[in-house]
Amino acid sequence: MAAKQTERQLVEVFGHDPRDHSSAARTFWQLNACPFIGKECTKFDHTRTICYGTCSVTNAGQEVVICPNRLYENNYEAIRKVGSDVFGDIPFMLFDEYIRTVASGNHQIDCLVALGHNSGKEVKISQLSMDWVIAHISNQQLVEYVGIEVQSIDITGNYRDAWYAARDMRDDIPTSGHGLNWANVHKRLIPQIIRKSLVYSKSLLVKNGLHFIVPEPVYQRFEAIIGANIPLVDRPGKEVIVVHTYDIGSRVEPGKMRTLVLNRELMFDLNEFSKRFISGPNLPTGVALDDKIRSILAVS
């Protein structure tokens, strides 16, 4: 029987359908390996003895990426796209490739170098950690750079029973008990985007503002706070946020993995985004707050 649309299910574990019993899929289970970054999966339980490897789940009928590594498929294609969009047709390198190139004696290279997850070091300044920086290097000079923030959504509750059923290759996988921490959108994610965008906008070497890579369902929660009608701009700039939203593509045959699909690409003014977060169209009114407190206290 097909699952009801509102039921919560595991969608991808170690990059594959949880009901995929093929040797290709089970190899990643046995290795506790992430197929998207080519390294050990980082999603362990609190005892560090069980590697859950869960990439995406369903929530309210939507398939939602819960691990940012899922957004790095095809050798960081989403990151490379930003480099191409901003700088054009310039060779793109992860940090280790850049080091090998320089070590070979090629010091006059013109290239893009990505600093971030599994590529050199994350750039940290004060209490901010920048997910990714793509630097344009020419003749050993830093010419320009652009920042990228990559976010998924944190999970709450647990999916232990569903995960064990998938691990044991049972066809009947129970409904998951997970939830998603949507409160983090306004508590952490939006403030983070604003603060980092402000830092980039004040750089002398940044001409294009922050690029934000995020699952489409997560960005829809952004819109619930700032409004879906935020005015768009037609070109990037220092004080422009560029949003790239992604969905998981169509289901595939056993042994294969679904691909990411670019859903939307939006550009809007950082100041407008900040203003809407503070006092946007979906901010509750003071009267609503009054009524809520009265109802809790059962007074008039």
Q: What is the pLDDT of residue 1?
A: 36
Please report, for the chain, the start and end positions of each structural domain, with discontinuous segments joined by +.
Answer: 1-67+152-180
- Residue 3: pLDDT above 70? no
Is 176:9 a contact under the CB 8 Å cutoff? yes
146-201: per-residue pLDDT in tens? 999 999 999 998 899 999 999 999 989 999 999 999 999 989 999 999 999 999 99
Residue of 107 and 275 predicted with greater confidence: 275
Average pLDDT of span 266-284: 88
Predicted TM-score (pTM) of the model is 0.91
Task: Kindly state the percentage of the chain with pLDDT values over 70.
Answer: 98
- Residue 216: pLDDT above 70? yes
Cα 107 to Cα 103: distance, rounded to the nearest angstrom: 8
Average pLDDT of span 108-112: 90
Which residue, 195, 266, 276, 274, is CA-closest to 235? 266
Give me the DSSP letters along 108-121: S-EEEEEEBTTBS-
Mean pLDDT computed over every residue of the chain: 92
Is 122:95 a contact under the CB 8 Å cutoff? no
Task: Kindly state the percentage of the chain with pLDDT values over 90.
Answer: 76
- Residue 4: pLDDT above 70? no
pLDDT class of 66 with cuts at 50, 70, 90: very high
Average pLDDT of span 130-153: 94
7-35: per-residue pLDDT in tens? 899 999 999 999 999 999 999 999 999 99
Q: How many other CB atoms are found less than 10 A from the CB of residue 297?
A: 8
Q: What is the pLDDT of residue 6?
A: 62
